[in-house]
């Protein structure tokens, strides 16, 4: 709008009052109506407020069917967002009907003029995400995107082969949309950035208010994207529904309208606000969210992917620097299924970079909780336990924070109550009724950290009485919010999801032990029942690996796969395998007499049945018998823990004397021959280099025991650099120690 004209007009009509007086008429000036500046107790602040009054008073059905113009400047419609403080004195306004035209937009200037006349000056739309959570743990992702965009930008001769798309894929609520909304500001404020100074940031979605219609939009995906770009910039901020917007502009679009054409109109508008943008190169950050929405529901994979393929192809040409344009495009696709887009892009010879989004680590999500909840609440034991149950998945964390903030005193809450409230919302967002039979198998894939392929279908590894056929792939199930697939293609389930799934069905030994640990962690710290915790964890691990090995054509699982991340003495022990020809651990047994000191060892401990848990004072805390490829072995376990305060693991905690004594009792009372003994130390602390060496030196002096395992939180080298080794404790690794030690 020409503000100079407004100033000239108001000078000639100035009154003694500092508050302007607005009068409006439809046909004749002498029939003008005085507009109240306060209506229903609300003070009018913009011309748009007056326009709403006019629409109501004159019974005009459609707000967008008329403009307000100054009486002596009918060629310049007033913009709805114009502040009333721009005016003074007596201001006479005329109602000007908008005459519709059927002519197509021939130029970006035609498009821009039509949009301004129809909707007024663009207003920034609200972000698709309303999260209050600080964007923590994503610095490396944003830096990675910057590096990739800069690499493309600095290539002198650009072609399809060296201008890749960027693809962000992951489970719902992991932060994909936040990345799209953040990257523009990150690139713009990047210190010493070598990218263009001026930029346009437009993110569209194929869901969330502008859902993809496979029937009406599949014939011309390029036009479908153009509609979303224009709606997002010109109409969304004015709360114009997407479908209504599409109807209004349908007759104006040519079949050949391009995205570059649309961005040119947007650029012209921004240049009118900031003339320094004219003739400057502009970086356009163009995000396409929820790309999986344009996948067909079809068993025919070619048909299923046909529209997504057309969408990708319609934007890929923008990546190559077009002639006669000053635009450089950074295009990012975001969605829940990577496999489909990977196959499509690969098949079309379109290069791309996958940008993985990891889950937040313990330190990151605890800092976020302190920022949002405050120190007092975030340090509350019940709240802190509930936070760890979310496993660093942003969406469940956000739900939990909302639950906590909605609690009103003096309501008494505990961890169980908080988790139950979170589950209610998760069950509404991500229902699991149709795949209940598959949930135990999903747990097995998660516990074993088996590498999967997203397009494969999970096998029913745990037998069901009346199994239902599964038609969904891992990628499909992730898109439903049932788990997250990590960047190295493993199924991740935070404890809140494991809790949901075990509540449905806990008849198997696997699920019973899983539920035992979950119930324990809702009320206590793991080290308060460290022996029981490890006992049931052994059952969970053995059951899961055993089920999977039976399904995979009798493939045995190794000690290295089982005790993931553990320290093996000697290292070759990790390659030994468990036999799957015998049953595996199914119960935790509590003998009345200490074992092996005062029990019938052959009767008490049969291969693959029970893990023995001794009362305090036994030579070993727990042990079990297993069949390995190297023979029969007794795994003798002692649990060593610190309470997370000032205690530290000591060299004496790794002493092998009691293991030797226990092995002698077994040899003396068992009828079996050629028995191997493998001591295991279960620790929630780290092992130093000197402790590790001392342990190895002990082993060398013992004749009957030549192998051993240390399951621990991690190792610390001579330079005091920690290295995590807590793989065996997954998915409970965030529960084995306090945050600050």
Backbone conformation region of residue 365, classed left if phi is above 0, alpha if psi is from -120 to 50, else beta: alpha
Angstrom distance (rounded) from CA 153 to CA 320: 10
CB atoms within 10 A of CB 553: 6
CB atoms within 10 A of CB 385: 21
Task: Answer whether residue 472 is part of any domain.
Answer: no
Angstrom distance (rounded) from CA 254 to CA 112: 15
Across 4-50, the runs of DSSP E, i.e. the strands, are 21-25, 33-34, 38-39, 42-43
DSSP code, position 397 = H
Q: Does the pLDDT at position 16 exceed 50?
A: no
Task: Answer whether residue 199 is part of any domain.
Answer: yes
pLDDT score for 741: 42
Q: Does the pLDDT at position 11 exceed 60?
A: no
Task: Answer whether residue 373 is part of any domain.
Answer: yes
Count of domains for the chain: 4
pLDDT digit string, tens, across residues 180-220: 999 999 999 888 889 999 999 999 999 888 888 877 777 78
CA proximity to 485, closest of 359, 355, 342: 359
Q: Does the pLDDT at position 346 exceed 80?
A: no
Three-state DSSP class for 270? helix
515, 550: one domain = yes
Q: What tokens were used for 113?
A: 């003029």
Range of the domain at 634: 509-735
Three-state DSSP class for 164? coil
How many residues in total does the chain contain? 741
Q: Does the pLDDT at position 12 exceed 80?
A: no
Q: Predicted confidence band at 465 (pLDDT cuts at 50, 70, 90)?
A: low
CATH code for position 15: 3.10.20.90
DSSP code, position 205 = E
Q: Predicted confidence band at 3 (pLDDT cuts at 50, 70, 90)?
A: very low
Q: Does the pLDDT at position 328 exceed 50?
A: yes
Q: What tokens were used for 25?
A: 């008429």
pLDDT digit string, tens, across residues 55-65: 888 888 877 78
Bond prior to 596 in cis (omega within 30° of 0): yes
Angstrom distance (rounded) from CA 362 to CA 359: 10
Report yes or no: 459 and 476 within 8 Å, Cβ to Cβ. no
pLDDT digit string, tens, across residues 123-144: 887 776 666 677 777 888 999 9
Virtual torsion, Cα 551, 552, 556, 558, nearest 10 deg: -110
Q: Predicted confidence band at 347 (pLDDT cuts at 50, 70, 90)?
A: low
Task: Answer whether residue 482 is part of any domain.
Answer: no
528, 656: one domain = yes
385, 330: one domain = no
pLDDT digit string, tens, across residues 628-680: 999 889 999 999 988 755 456 777 778 899 999 999 999 888 888 888 999 99
pLDDT digit string, tens, across residues 166-180: 999 889 999 999 999
Task: Answer whether residue 685 is part of any domain.
Answer: yes
Contacts of 248 (CB under 8 A, 6+ apart): 64, 118
Q: Predicted confidence band at 9 (pLDDT cuts at 50, 70, 90)?
A: very low
CA proximity to 632, closest of 587, 682, 670, 688: 670
145, 93: one domain = no
Angstrom distance (rounded) from CA 431 to CA 222: 34
pLDDT score for 562: 95
Angstrom distance (rounded) from CA 704 to CA 152: 63
Angstrom distance (rounded) from CA 304 to CA 340: 9
Across 258-378, the runs of DSSP E, i.e. the strands, are 282-289, 327-335, 352-354
221, 85: one domain = no
CATH code for position 222: 3.40.50
Angstrom distance (rounded) from CA 391 to CA 383: 14
516, 664: one domain = yes
522, 390: one domain = no
Entry pTM: 0.81
Q: Does the pLDDT at position 7 exceed 50?
A: no
Angstrom distance (rounded) from CA 679 to CA 566: 13
344, 393: one domain = no
519, 555: one domain = yes
For the chain, the average pLDDT equals 86
Rounded mean pLDDT, 700-728: 90
Task: Answer whether residue 441 is part of any domain.
Answer: no
Last residue in a domain, options 376, 406, 429: 429
Please report which helix (H) or strand (E) contains residue 510, including its range.
Answer: helix 509-523
695, 561: one domain = yes
pLDDT digit string, tens, across residues 47-104: 888 988 898 888 888 777 888 888 888 777 888 778 888 888 889 999 988 766 557 8
Of 207-211, 259-263, 601-605, the range with the lowest mean pLDDT is 601-605
From the centroid of its chain, how far is CA 693? 41
Task: Answer whether residue 278 is part of any domain.
Answer: yes
573, 589: one domain = yes
Report yes or no: 470 and 440 within 8 Å, Cβ to Cβ. no
188, 314: one domain = yes
Instruction: State how far the alpha carbon of 122 is from the alpha carbons of 237, 273, 329, 714, 734, in Å.
Output: 7, 12, 22, 55, 47
Last residue in a domain, options 296, 329, 354: 354
pLDDT score for 516: 95
Of 265-269, 318-322, 447-451, 689-693, the range with the lowest mean pLDDT is 318-322
pLDDT score for 139: 87
Q: Residue 56 class from Cβ within 10 Å (0-12 exposed, 13-18 middle, 19+ buried)?
A: exposed
Report yes or no: 318 and 325 within 8 Å, Cβ to Cβ. no
CA proximity to 564, closest of 477, 468, 401, 450: 450
Q: Does the pLDDT at position 24 exceed 60?
A: yes
From the centroid of its chain, how far is CA 388? 16
Task: Answer whether residue 694 is part of any domain.
Answer: yes
Last residue in a domain, options 354, 381, 403: 354
pLDDT score for 66: 84
């Amino acid at each position: 709008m020409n503000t100079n004209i407004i100033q000239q007009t108001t000078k000639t009509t100035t009154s003694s009052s500092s508050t302007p007086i607005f009068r409006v008429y439809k046909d004749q000036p002498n029939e003008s109506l005085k507009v109240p500046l306060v209506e229903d107790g609300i003070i009018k602040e913009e011309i748009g407020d007056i326009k709403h009054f006019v629409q109501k008073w004159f019974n005009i059905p459609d707000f967008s069917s008329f403009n307000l113009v100054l009486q002596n400047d009918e060629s310049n419609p007033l913009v709805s967002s114009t502040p009333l403080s721009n005016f003074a004195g007596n201001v006479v306004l005329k109602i000007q009907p908008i005459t519709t035209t059927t002519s197509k937009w021939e130029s970006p200037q035609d498009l821009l003029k039509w949009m301004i006349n129809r909707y007024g000056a663009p207003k920034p739309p609200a972000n698709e995400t309303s999260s209050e959570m600080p964007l923590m743990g994503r610095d490396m992702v944003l830096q990675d995107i910057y590096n990739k965009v800069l690499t493309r930008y600095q290539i002198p001769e650009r072609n399809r082969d060296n201008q890749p798309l960027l693809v962000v894929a992951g489970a719902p609520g992991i932060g994909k949309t936040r990345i799209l909304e953040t990257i523009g500001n990150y690139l713009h404020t990047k210190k010493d950035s070598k990218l263009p100074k001026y930029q346009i940031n437009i993110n569209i979605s194929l869901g969330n208010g502008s859902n993809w219609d496979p029937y009406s939009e599949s014939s011309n995906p390029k036009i479908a994207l153009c509609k979303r770009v224009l709606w997002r910039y010109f109409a969304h901020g004015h709360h114009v529904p997407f479908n209504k917007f599409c109807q209004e502009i349908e007759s104006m679009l040519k079949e050949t309208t391009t995205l570059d054409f649309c961005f040119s109109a947007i650029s012209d508008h921004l240049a009118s606000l900031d003339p320094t943008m004219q003739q400057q190169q502009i970086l356009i950050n163009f995000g396409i969210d929820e790309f999986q929405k344009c996948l067909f529901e079809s068993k025919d994979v070619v048909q299923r992917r046909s529209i997504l393929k057309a969408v990708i192809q319609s934007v890929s040409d923008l990546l190559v620097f077009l002639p006669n344009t000053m635009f450089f495009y950074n295009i990012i696709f975001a969605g829940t299924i990577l496999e489909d887009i990977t196959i499509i892009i690969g098949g079309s010879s379109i290069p791309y970079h996958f940008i993985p989004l990891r889950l937040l680590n313990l330190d990151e999500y605890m800092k976020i909780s302190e920022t949002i909840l405050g120190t007092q609440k975030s340090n509350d034991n019940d709240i802190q336990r509930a936070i760890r149950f979310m496993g660093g998945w942003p969406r469940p964390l956000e739900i939990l924070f909302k639950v906590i903030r909605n609690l009103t005193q003096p309501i008494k809450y505990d961890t169980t109550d908080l988790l139950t409230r979170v589950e209610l919302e998760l069950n509404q967002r991500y229902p699991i009724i149709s795949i209940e039979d598959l949930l135990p198998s999903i747990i097995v894939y998660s516990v074993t950290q088996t590498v999967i392929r997203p397009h494969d279908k999970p096998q029913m590894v745990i037998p069901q009485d009346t199994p239902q056929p599964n038609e969904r792939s891992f990628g499909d199930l992730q898109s439903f919010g049932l788990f997250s697939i990590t960047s190295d293609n493993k199924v991740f389930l935070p404890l809140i999801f494991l809790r949901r799934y075990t509540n449905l069905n806990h008849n198997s030994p696997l699920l019973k032990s899983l539920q035992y640990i979950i119930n324990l962690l809702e009320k206590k710290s793991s080290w308060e029942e460290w022996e029981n915790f490890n006992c049931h964890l052994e059952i969970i691990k053995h059951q899961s690996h055993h089920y999977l090995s039976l399904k995979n054509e009798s493939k045995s699982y190794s000690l290295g796969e089982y005790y993931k991340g553990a320290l093996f003495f000697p290292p070759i022990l990790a390659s030994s395998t468990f036999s799957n020809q015998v049953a595996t651990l199914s119960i935790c047994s509590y003998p009345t007499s200490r074992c092996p000191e005062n029990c019938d060892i052959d009767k008490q401990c049969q291969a693959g049945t029970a893990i023995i848990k001794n009362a305090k004072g036994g030579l070993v805390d727990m042990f079990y018998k297993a069949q390995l490829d190297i023979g029969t072995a007794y795994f003798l376990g002692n649990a060593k823990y610190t309470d997370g305060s000032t205690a530290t693991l000591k060299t004496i905690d790794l002493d092998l004397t009691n293991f030797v004594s226990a092995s002698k009792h077994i040899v003396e009372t068992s009828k079996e021959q050629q028995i191997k003994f493998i001591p295991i130390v279960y620790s929630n602390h780290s092992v130093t280099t000197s402790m590790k060496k001392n342990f190895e030196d002990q082993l060398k002096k013992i004749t009957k025991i030549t192998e051993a395992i240390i399951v621990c939180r991690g190792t610390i080298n001579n330079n005091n650099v920690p290295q995590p080794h807590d793989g065996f404790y997954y998915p409970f690794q965030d529960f084995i120690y306090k945050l600050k030690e």
